[in-house]
Amino acid sequence: MNERNEELELYKLVTKDVSEFGWVNDTVFNVWLYHFELSDFIKDIIKIFDGCMCDVPLQASITKDYVVIDLADMLFDEDIEIERVFPKDEYKH
């Protein structure tokens, strides 16, 4: 059986496909996506977590240029520690 590393896949997705990202305070890890990037980002997140997030409402802020998502909140119910993937001291915004 081929076991995936969800944390590594998440790291690759965020560092490769997200415009900006980082901890804005002790509990909020935001990702900034251009509007046209949102659909692919959500599809990739669902793929990484085997569709588990399909029924979870996504909280986001929309600005003129970006859609801003708190990834720590989005992944709260998943078996992943966002701070282990993105340590607060290294990924401050």
Nearest Cα neighbor of 84 from 3, 2, 10, 4 is 10
Residue 31 included in any domain: yes
Q: What is the mean pLDDT of residues 26-32?
A: 94
Instruction: Check residue 57 and give its pLDDT.
Output: 74
Res. 51 pLDDT band, cuts 50 70 90: low
pTM of the model: 0.84
Checking if the pLDDT of 30 tops 90, the result is yes
Residue 71 included in any domain: yes
The count of domains in the chain is 1
Residue 16 included in any domain: yes
Checking if the pLDDT of 32 tops 80, the result is yes
Range of the domain at 39: 6-81
